[in-house]
């Protein structure tokens, strides 16, 4: 497989996880592309304007990328903390609309700011890796780390509280769960994942502009989770990988590919209303494969 496509798929999986985190808590937030755009802008600005980060070698130092990631996480985290307190008072579709509005405001602001390069954006973002394979390896490690964190989250107290809120917020509050704080936690984690992903994407794409965090992106990333499922972290990872790859893999069939792509997104939820990857799937597989999936299935049940 083309390493460039693999890298895009891995970035898609990361964005899927970002949408998944609030959704697992029952919150339909579409703010992911906004925080993704912030992460990308942070990386683009720092790596092109701060000479100290460039290092002395021929490639851009990875430590500088990690530093950008830390700063992007800090910025998106603080922003999400503030915005989340306000928008998370909204429920269901109202939250979705408010977060879309946030993303649009951010896009328009970026578009009109001098230092973000306006409509053209920022070019010549330095490369920490010489090849797409290098990016893919780095992103795979990042994805593995975040999957592991999500897995631990799901199996512990805050994860159980999130699932309880999704099932019945009022009943969850009656068990002593601080629902506002728990939803805020999910929202902030979502923003961190999106922000960090934006940093990697900016280097990979070499240029960055306001279009990368728009309404279309909100819907596409949501499709990752709707298709893959939001009951376990495997769902959005699967959805992100597959739905990013599909348009590319379908390229040989020409214009038909968009129709096929649309059909897949449409048919997925029709036949798998919970998404393709559900805990029930593990139960079904368990007696057949045993061993490996047993641990995963127990994790889902715990």
Partner 1 sequence: MNLLQLEDVGVRFGGLRALQGVDLEVKQGEIFGLLGPNGAGKTTLFNVISGLTAPSSGTVRWRGASLAGLSSHRIARLGIARTFQNLRLFSSMSCLENVLVGMHQHARQPPLAALLQTQSFRRRESQLQQEALALLDLFQLEATAHQDAASLSYGDRRRLEMARALASRPQLLLLDEPAAGMNPSEKDELRELIRRIRDQFKLTVLIIEHHVPLMLGLCDRLAVLNFGQRIALGSPDQVRRDPAVIEAYLGGGT
Residues of the shown chain interacting with partner 1 in the complex, contacts defined by CB under 8 A = 149, 152, 156-157, 160-161, 163-164, 166-168, 170-179, 231, 301-302
**Element containing residue 9 per DSSP (H, E):** helix 3-23
Q: Which is nearer to partner 1, 7 or 154 (CB)?
A: 154
User: How many angstroms separate the first and last alpha carbons of the chain?
Assistant: 36
Q: Which is nearer to partner 1, 71 or 163 (CB)?
A: 163
Smallest distance, Å, CB 98 to partner 1? 22
- Main-chain phi, psi angles of 245, to 5 degrees: -75, -35
Q: Which is nearer to partner 1, 159 or 198 (CB)?
A: 159
Q: How far apart are CA 236 and CA 41, in angstroms?
A: 25
CB–CB of 196/72 below 8 Å?
yes
Q: How far apart are CA 150 and CA 6, in angstroms?
A: 22
Smallest distance, Å, CB 17 to partner 1? 17
Nearest to 221 by CA among 38, 6, 18: 18
Binning the chain into helix, strand and coil, the percentages to the nearest 5 are 75, 0, 25
Q: Is 227 helix (H, G, I), strand (E, B) or coil?
A: helix
Smallest distance, Å, CB 39 to partner 1? 23
Smallest distance, Å, CB 284 to partner 1? 14
Smallest distance, Å, CB 144 to partner 1? 15
Q: Which is nearer to partner 1, 99 or 293 (CB)?
A: 293
Q: Is 43 helix (H, G, I), strand (E, B) or coil?
A: helix
Smallest distance, Å, CB 301 to partner 1? 6
Q: Which is nearer to partner 1, 181 or 216 (CB)?
A: 181
Nearest to 10 by CA among 275, 250, 240: 240
Q: Which is nearer to partner 1, 190 or 209 (CB)?
A: 190
Q: Which is nearer to partner 1, 160 or 257 (CB)?
A: 160
Smallest distance, Å, CB 245 to partner 1? 29
Using a 10 angstrom Cβ sphere, with 0-12 exposed, 13-18 middle and 19 or more buried, the burial of residue 61 is middle
Q: Is 180 helix (H, G, I), strand (E, B) or coil?
A: helix
């Amino acid at each position: 497989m083309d390493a460039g496509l693999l890298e895009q798929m891995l970035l898609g999986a990361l964005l899927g996880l970002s949408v998944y985190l609030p959704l697992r808590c029952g919150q339909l937030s579409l703010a992911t592309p906004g925080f993704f755009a912030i992460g990308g802008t942070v990386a683009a600005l720092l790596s092109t304007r701060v000479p100290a980060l460039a290092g002395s070698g021929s490639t851009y130092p990875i430590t500088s990328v990690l530093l950008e990631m830390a700063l992007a996480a800090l910025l998106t985290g603080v922003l999400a903390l503030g915005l989340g307190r306000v928008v998370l008072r909204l429920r269901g579709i109202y939250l979705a609309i408010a977060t879309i509005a946030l993303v649009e405001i951010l896009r328009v602001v970026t578009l009109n700011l001098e230092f973000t390069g306006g409509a053209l954006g920022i070019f010549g973002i330095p490369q920490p890796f010489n090849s797409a394979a290098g990016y893919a390896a780095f992103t795979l490690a990042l994805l593995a780390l975040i999957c592991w964190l999500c897995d631990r989250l799901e199996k512990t107290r805050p994860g159980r509280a999130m699932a309880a809120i999704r099932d019945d917020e009022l009943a969850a509050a009656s068990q002593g769960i601080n629902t506002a704080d728990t939803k805020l936690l999910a929202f902030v984690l979502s923003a961190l994942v999106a922000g960090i992903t934006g940093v990697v994407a900016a280097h990979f794409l070499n240029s960055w502009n306001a279009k990368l965090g728009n309404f279309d992106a909100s819907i596409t990333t949501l499709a990752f989770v709707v298709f893959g499922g939001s009951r376990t972290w495997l769902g959005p990872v699967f959805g992100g990988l597959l739905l990013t790859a599909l348009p590319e893999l379908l390229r040989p069939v020409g214009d038909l590919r968009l129709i096929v792509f649309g059909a897949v997104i449409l048919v997925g939820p029709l036949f798998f209303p919970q998404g393709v990857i559900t805990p029930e799937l593990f139960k079904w597989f368990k007696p057949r494969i045993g061993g490996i999936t047993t641990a995963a299935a127990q994790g889902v049940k715990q």
